[in-house]
């Protein structure tokens, strides 16, 4: 696991001393249903933060707001010093996003989908880059297959390859392990732990407590739109984090913590 420093990977075009992600007082509601309530969170460069929480706790909304897909009701959010509300295009240049959906066109081949993404990002020498990310995800042999003919797991691998394609500084991953087989899970864990290209800073949501503990420098538990617990394995110890998870998530879902 890489150690995190002040801002070694910070891109030159942004404030070099700014944290990778800084969230202050983030609030979001859908209609009358509050989803995120006055949330504060900070992620340093080269840090992996895993966010755990039950269904409906606001994990996906948090990722969507950081990815500039959803506007918050209130709060200040900065990514690499850029205000997400005002500098959406600049923020999108720095992040790679993995969502629940593969975000690929079924009737294009995987290569055509990735080439389209490369052109939208204005990438040079995209052929080499496409080969590299497909190789990394173990799907190079499937590049020229239409996406509609791929299994869910292969689509997910390509969707991670797509997030890595523009060489982002920060990865935002919403339950990226769903649908992946053991080989792909090992690749994903290696990417999160050791980085890929410039991507060494990761915010990843997951339902898998043990994976969250294994991969994250820090773990946050999101319950009912609030950070109910935030801590590190090194300081708190695994049993404390597990106890916190069972206390908050177990109590919230009604599951038996033992």
Partner 1 sequence: MRSFLSPVLALLWKDVVLELRTKDIVVSVLLFSLLVIVIFNFAIDPTPQRVAVVAPGILWVAFIFGGVLGLTRSFALEKEHGNLQGLLLTPVGRDAIFFGKMLGIFVFMSVVEAITYPIFAVMFNLSLTVVPELIPVALLATLGIATVGTVFSAMAVNTRSREVMLPLLFLPVVIPVIVGAVEATGVVIRGEGGSDLVRWIPLLAAFDAVFLVVCPFAFNMVVEE
Chain residues binding partner 1 by CB under 8 A are 64, 67-71, 89-90, 92-93, 97, 99-108, 112, 116-117, 119-122
Contact between 72 and 54 under an 8 Å Cβ cutoff? The reply is: no
Q: Which is nearer to partner 1, 6 or 105 (CB)?
A: 105
- Least CB distance from residue 80 to partner 1, whole Å? 13
- Least CB distance from residue 92 to partner 1, whole Å? 4
Q: Which is nearer to partner 1, 15 or 119 (CB)?
A: 119
- Least CB distance from residue 114 to partner 1, whole Å? 12
Q: Which is nearer to partner 1, 98 or 223 (CB)?
A: 98
| 93 vs 161: CA distance, rounded Å | 16
| 115 vs 162: CA distance, rounded Å | 10
Angle made by CA atoms 179, 183, 189, in degrees to the nearest 5: 85
Q: Which is nearer to partner 1, 107 or 234 (CB)?
A: 107
Q: Dihedral (C-alpha) 151, 154, 158, 160: value to the nearest 10 degrees? A: 120
- Least CB distance from residue 233 to partner 1, whole Å? 31
Write the burial class of residue 144 (CB in 10 Å: 0-12 exposed, 13-18 middle, 19+ buried): exposed
Q: Which is nearer to partner 1, 64 or 218 (CB)?
A: 64
Query: Would you tell me the crossing angle of helices 182-194 and 152-164 to the nearest 10 degrees?
Result: 20
Contact between 28 and 79 under an 8 Å Cβ cutoff? The reply is: no
- Least CB distance from residue 201 to partner 1, whole Å? 17
* Per-residue CA distances from 221 to 59, 70, 216, 243 (Å): 10, 21, 12, 11
- Least CB distance from residue 31 to partner 1, whole Å? 13
Q: Which is nearer to partner 1, 106 or 183 (CB)?
A: 106
| 164 vs 246: CA distance, rounded Å | 33
């Amino acid at each position: 696991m890489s150690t995190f420093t002040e801002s070694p990977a910070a891109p030159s075009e942004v404030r070099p001393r700014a944290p990778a992600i800084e969230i202050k007082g983030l609030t979001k509601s859908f209609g009358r249903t509050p989803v995120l309530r006055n949330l504060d969170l900070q992620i340093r460069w080269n840090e992996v933060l895993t966010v755990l929480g039950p269904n409906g706790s606001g994990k996906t909304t948090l990722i969507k707001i950081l990815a500039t897909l959803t506007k918050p009701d209130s709060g200040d959010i900065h990514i690499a010093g850029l205000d997400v509300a005002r500098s959406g295009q600049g923020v999108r240049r720095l992040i790679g996003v993995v969502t629940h959906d593969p975000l690929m066109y079924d009737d294009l081949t995987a290569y055509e989908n990735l080439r389209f993404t490369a052109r939208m990002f204005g990438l040079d020498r995209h052929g080499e880059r496409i080969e590299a990310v497909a190789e990394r995800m173990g799907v190079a042999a499937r590049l020229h297959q239409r996406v509609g003919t791929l299994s869910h797991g292969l689509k997910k691998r390509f969707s991670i390859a797509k997030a890595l394609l523009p060489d982002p500084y920060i990865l935002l991953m919403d339950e990226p392990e769903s649908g992946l087989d053991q080989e792909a899970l090992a690749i994903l864990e290696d990417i999160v732990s050791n980085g890929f290209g410039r991507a060494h800073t990761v915010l990843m949501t997951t339902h898998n407590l043990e994976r969250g503990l294994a991969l994250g420098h820090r773990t946050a538990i999101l319950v009912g739109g609030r950070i109910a617990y935030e801590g590190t394995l090194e300081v708190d110890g695994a049993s404390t984090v597990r106890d916190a998870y069972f206390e908050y998530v177990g109590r919230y879902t009604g599951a038996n913590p033992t």
